[in-house]
Structure 1
Amino acid sequence: MTDSAFATDDHLRSLIASWLQELGAVRRLSPNTTEAYGRDLGQFMRFLADHMGGTVTLATLKDIRAADIRAFMAQRRSESLGSRSLARVLSALKSFFTHLERQGILATEAFNAVRTPKIPRSLPKALTVVEAKATIDMAGELEDRPWVAARDMAVIALCYGSGLRISEALALTRASLEGGTLRVTGKGGKVRMVPLIDPVLRSIEIYLELCPFTVAPDEPMFRGVRGGVLSPRLIQLRMEQLRSALGLPPSATPHALRHSFATHLLGKGGDLRAIQELLGHASLSTTQIYTAVDTERLLESYARAHPRG
């Protein structure tokens, strides 16, 4: 049930439920994204109930204007919501109204006059090659239990050596290892094949040899000390220890290793389209940010090395 439960009539609630089901089953958005979209729409419905004075119905939605949407966005911004979150809010609202239009239920032009908030561009914080290698090498030195040390090293190696998200690494099964490649299930259930370099493959093999638990081929292979599926929080805590031990900045997270993978490949002449496929980005524009990262690092190196820098 969304936040709109007490702001809308029964018919509109059923339409919202249908939309949320479509987000998960058809568009295959993650549960977290679907929940966030439902929460955003619910807050909009509650705003309309106060703004318009009464329970929100389809008739209410037919009468909304761009000014009403802007008023809601202004209210959310006054609650310290950032531009990125506001953009997601607007995307959620547009998605619901598009759903109604596709169903032939309602059409509105109000959103055409509302601009998406500008999102400040932030560049991924990549580690240097030396820092990334040191992080992997030391991952096994902070733990006394050999199998746990091997596990943490393998997971961290996958983030840097294969460019995986931490969630993707922890979801891997033995069945997803196909010779020299990995079958990775990314966002939206999209499957991609990622080459597996020898050092990463060897780190996985060592972990599997030492792991004390019997894990079926189709079950996640990385396990906690009690045999359950490994929590990403444990790897994040390990990275915190590694940051302290190596003197790395707070930006050195498991996801920063994925950024480093892409940045270092690009720096060595990697093809942008190929890197897009390896990362599982739906859009090339998402991957293009790494060209700016690489240029920035190049300029920093120039400034440090040039006699007049």
Structure 2
Amino acid sequence: MRLDDEAESQNVEDRRGGGFGGGGFPLGGKSIGIGTVVIALAASYFFGIDPMLILQGASNLQPQQTPQPQAQRAPATDQLTVFTRKVLGNTERTWDHIFQTDLNRRYAAPTLVLFSGATPTACGTGQSAMGPFYCPADQKVYIDLAFYNELRQRFGAGGDFAQAYVIAHEVGHHIQNLLGVSGKVDSARRRMGEAQANQLSVRMELQADCLAGVWAATAQKLNQQLLEPGDIEEGLKAAAAIGDDRLQKQSQGYVVPEAFTHGTSDQRVRWLRQGLSTGDIRKCDTFAAKQL
């Protein structure tokens, strides 16, 4: 991919190097040590004293803690982080064009969160082992960039467009959220058995693959220099590498189709190619498709 002239997205939150802070227990904006908590519980047990009275008194003796503003870190300048910001920036401009041209509405871009290990989200604790994911509750895409190493080393799917496809797929879930697809699917899944709910999840994921293809096709149309020879093949190879059938075969030696949640390798390639070849969001209706 040729991204030299692409502007970087400003909607990136870098949490790497941070952590879950906090010693003690918060009470009234102050922190109470665990020793005080133990004393309060003992007083309650032996003397029948309300433990909250002791905790509140200890809190009043604590000096008022004024929240300290976090130091602003300069944006990371390593190649992979810059690449990620540029790809996200391109998705913002491309989807804004699609929304205005095809849907006659404005596009609200997601925030992309870079993290390592684990991080809090509105959908629960996100972990690197989960791979990249989108949380509709806070409209954020979460990714540990170490996933790209796994994509290349474990799945044999390297290359810059393979990495861009991963981001575009998660942004595809954001598009589904904006268009109301996510809410309808979640509501329907709650009324279904596990096998049926999994089938609906497969259609959801395949649509996100198709939307990733629509992004790439439209971005190339807007900037004829964006994609290079071999880029499309990288993306298709990545889609095939993370098909449910291939992953199950690698991890457990056999395939359980009713447990699929993302689609087979062939299906993921087919729908990514559908988006790439048409560049039309209306051609991504996996829910109406009789055959995936």
Indicate the structure with greater helix content.
1
TM bracket (short chain)? under 0.3
TM-score (norm 2): 0.28
Indicate the structure with greater strand content.
2
